[in-house]
Structure 1
Amino acid sequence: MTRKRRRLHVALLGLLSLGTATALVLTAFEDNLVFFVSPTKIAEEGLEPDRYVRIGGLVEEGSVQQLEGNRVLFRVTDLAHAIPVTYDGILPDLFREGQGVVAQGSIGADGEIFVAREVLARHDENYMPAEVAEALQASGQWRPESGQPPPR
């Protein structure tokens, strides 16, 4: 084998190794990537079951129902559409109707109810997750430039 051919083999082996490493890193990122989806987008476009996403908005007034054990059913709205959410666990202390919330999980097998694995509530009256604020702005329900707080 000539010196030139040996260098070519080493270069090809290096490129193959680099490609394999890149594929492994991208696969790991894909598993940890969580996208934000608003209730309006879910209502209009749907969401494939078992796709892990974040939904956010306001907890709809009068929608919180305590089921058996720690299981809770409530609705998250962006004031244009609402989606029912079920969560089995202890809710954050700041969770209440009319407050901002972000839930991470996926649509259940029925395609109707969002099954949350984690629920996050805002920590004071001045904070709202950026994704939730953008969804409210897109629905025309909140305009931060007017100085008005988001609707409750």
Structure 2
Amino acid sequence: MPTRSCVGCRRRREKSELLRLVATSVGRLSLDATQRAPGRGVYICASASCLQRAHVSRGFARGLRRKLADQPLDQLQQRVLAALDQAVIALRQQARRDGRAVDDPEADGGVRVVEPKCAAQLESWAAQRAAVAEPVGETDAVRGKRGRRGKRAPSEQEKK
């Protein structure tokens, strides 16, 4: 399985474990749930902390090698969640049309997927959505001791 690096934490993981984001023509980030959109994309772990790190460190613009429109972190998080929701709905509908799923009022979304590969993809997206939906914390907690530009934060003695 191919591996990719997360632009937030820079860890290498299998491609299927990461979310792929691409830039739209107006410079906004968009989730590529199927990981097949044309052009350059960046990969990120399915976690709110990695999303925040990549946003603060400008990892998205660096990975995409282009300037991006300013987008608040909470708005980006909501767009990723909405795109994951749409991908789940689309996959369920496609599975129903193809005969890979059956109607089941007791199942999540009213559809029970019977094909293992399709069910695994739905479970993966549900887990990624839950991880991204975590509340976004304070920006300074992500920066650590070095701050935004890689400079060490002044100690209490240096502040005096």
Q: TM-score, normalised by structure 2?
A: 0.23
Structure with the bigger percentage of helix: 2
Larger gyration radius, structure 1 or structure 2? 1
Structure with the bigger percentage of strand: 1
